[in-house]
């Protein structure tokens, strides 16, 4: 399996190939078809597994790759379901120490899943639309 691109810029995964043609799969739709081998060029630096992951919607991928474990995912779910929540509340309500909590909040902000928010005059966090979309798909 390898990642290729055609002349129009579309990205595919090579499923099988012969001397003159390749059977390719669109990673986003799953549709398969045949293309002339000469029409395709390898995509340097892109793992075929990362390309295959495009079958999962971007908001869901972002949640899955940003949450390193179940506690982190649970924090994100709580903020989605009950947020925005203050940092003080999160420290009291969760079993995370301050450094672990702030580390996760920072990672989620960097991933575009949380935004800083004022909660009762204190610093807090709320999920972004990207996080809400990803979690909504996972929670169905």
Helix (H, G, I), strand (E, B) or coil at 12: strand
Name the β-bridge partners of 25.
13, 32
The pair phi, psi for residue 14, each rounded to 5°, is: -80, 120
- The answer to whether residues 50 and 71 belong to one domain is no
| String of DSSP letters for 23-50 | EEE-TTT--EEEEEGGG-EE-TT--HHH
Q: What is the pLDDT along the chain (140 residues), one digit of tens a residue?
A: 899 999 999 999 999 999 899 999 999 999 999 999 999 999 999 899 999 999 999 999 999 999 999 999 999 999 999 989 999 999 999 999 999 999 999 999 999 999 999 999 999 999 999 999 999 999 98
Shared-domain flag, residues 74 and 40: no
Q: Give the pLDDT of residue 124.
A: 96
Check which CATH number belongs to the domain holding 42 and give it. 2.30.30
Domain of residue 46, residue span:
2-55
- 72, 7: one domain: no
Task: Give the burial string for 38-56 (b: 16+ CB within 10 Å, else e).
Answer: eebeeeeeeeeeebeeeeb
DSSP state for residue 53 in the 8-state scheme? G
Q: What is the pLDDT of residue 140?
A: 82
Q: How many domains does the chain have?
A: 2
Residues 51 and 62 in one domain: no
50 and 73 assigned to the same domain: no
Indicate whether 43 and 103 sit together in one domain.
no
In this structure, the answer to whether residues 132 and 100 fall within a common structural domain is: yes
Co-location of 134 and 71 in the same domain = yes
75 and 132 fall within a common domain: yes
């Amino acid at each position: 399996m390898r990642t290729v691109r055609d002349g129009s810029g579309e990205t595919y995964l090579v499923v099988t190939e012969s001397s003159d043609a390749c059977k390719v799969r669109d990673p986003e739709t799953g549709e398969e078809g045949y293309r002339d081998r000469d029409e395709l060029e390898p995509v340097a630096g892109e793992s075929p597994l990362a390309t295959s992951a495009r079958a999962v919607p971007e908001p869901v991928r972002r949640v899955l790759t940003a949450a390193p474990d179940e506690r982190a995912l649970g924090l994100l779910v709580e903020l989605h379901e009950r947020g925005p929540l203050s940092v003080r509340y999160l420290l009291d309500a969760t079993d995370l120490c301050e450094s672990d909590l702030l580390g996760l909040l920072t990672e989620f902000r960097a991933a575009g899943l949380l935004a800083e928010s004022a909660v009762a005059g204190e610093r807090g966090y709320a999920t972004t639309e990207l996080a809400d979309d990803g979690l909504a798909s996972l929670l169905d």
